Amino acid sequence: METSSPRFKSLAVTAGLSFWFFIVISAIGHFSTEALLVFIASVLVTTQILATKISKGLDIFAIINTKIFLSIFFGTVFFIYGILMRFLRIDLLRLRKQQNSYWLNTEQAKPHRIRKQY
């Protein structure tokens, strides 16, 4: 973002603020398209007019917004991954003993059947 033009930073910050506005208003239950459009228009006009003066602030806000969004996104991905593994009963670490395991049980393997592969 440091090499981007102030106008582009303004668009990126407007998109980020609009996203968070949508999330918060939807979570509260007071979403309306008109309010979202008014918010987007007002933020876009304000940041476009003051883009050169607040360029450094736009840059800092865009970086913070990206870090927050990505941390929430990756947390959600790992959370869903964990639920999916629990739901499908997949034990990735093999913590529980299973009868129908496809892993080789070395205690019961005969020494003449184990060969080194190079």
pLDDT band of 62, cuts 50, 70, 90: confident
What residues contact 47, with CB distance under 8 A and at least 6 apart? 10, 13, 14, 54, 58
In eight-state DSSP terms, residue 117 is -
- The answer to whether the Cα torsion of 39, 30, 78, 90 is positive or negative is negative
Interval 38-52: pLDDT, tens: 999 999 999 999 988
Q: What is the pLDDT of residue 100?
A: 62
Interval 71-110: pLDDT, tens: 999 999 989 988 888 888 777 766 666 666 555 556 666 6
CB atoms within 10 A of CB 80: 10
Interval 12-27: pLDDT, tens: 999 999 999 999 999 9
